[in-house]
Structure formats: structure tokens, C-alpha cells
Amino acid sequence: MTKTATPQEFLHRLRVYIEDTDAGGIVYYVNYLKFMERARTEFMRVHGYGKTHIFNKDLMFVVQRVAVNYRSAAQLDDELEVSARLVGLRGARIVFYQSIRRGEEVLAEGEITVACVDHDQRKPRRLPADMLARLREVN
């Protein structure tokens, strides 16, 4: 379940399942990062850069930096909206601001930096020119 709220903010909806929670029915902290990953993946897909396209270009994206502020806990069966908004593009890096909300309540928010790397050598490489141009249009 994905939708775009504004040209700048991409929203991905999801439901919390039992596998996302701890014994108390609270979402385990690392799963917020998984939810954010899904939103970034769908953001890229909507803009023409699904996994198949990226792998055909011999690219990979790896998380370089994560800074997340956890505010409140999501619980079993909650419906959440996870946002992804570009806040930086430079060289081999894409920086996203992301939040996870239940209705109007922000449960977690943070900044995630991903780096573009060569698939075979696993070394940083500049974003392809076409990708950089398209993402700048979104930004």
C-alpha cells in the first residue's frame, strides 16, 4: 500500500504483524529500520529505479549512516505510514529524512544516508547521471 503525499514526501502504508513485535506486542526497535527500508525501496521504484533496474546497472545501495529518534511505540495491528523524503544528493550519497506515523502521531523519525556502490567491487561510485537528474527533479 503506497501513495505519494506531495512531490517531496513519499508515503508507504503498512500494518504491524506479530512477527514485527516482541513478547509484549510492541514493535521491536530494529523493525522501524526495516519499515524505513521498505519505504525507501518503494520510493526508488516509483521513480523508475526498482531493484531490477539498479542491479542491471551493476549498482547497490548500502546504508552508511542512521540517526533515529524513537518517540513512541507501535503495537500489534497498528496501521502505519512511513515517509521517505530526499534531503541530500551528492556524489555517491543519497540522504533521506524518514518518519513513521500512526495517524498524526510521529512514532520515530530520522535521517538515513545510503551510498551507491559498485556491485562487484563494493566500492563507492557516483550516482549515475540519469538517476541523479531524476532524483534532483523530485528533490
Task: Say whether 22 is catalytic.
Answer: yes
CB 69 within 8 A of CB 106: no
DSSP letters along 91-118, please?
TTEEEEEEEEEETTEEEEEEEEEEEEEE
**50 CB-side CA count, 13 A:** 2
Burial annotation 54-74 (CB, 10 A radius, 16+ → b, else e): beeeebbbeeeeeebeeeebb
Catalytic residue among 22, 58, 77, 118: 22
**114 CB-side CA count, 13 A:** 20
Residue 131's nearest CA partner among 84, 94, 83 is: 94
Q: Which three cell numbers stand for residue 32?
A: 522501524
Catalytic residues, which ones?
A: 22
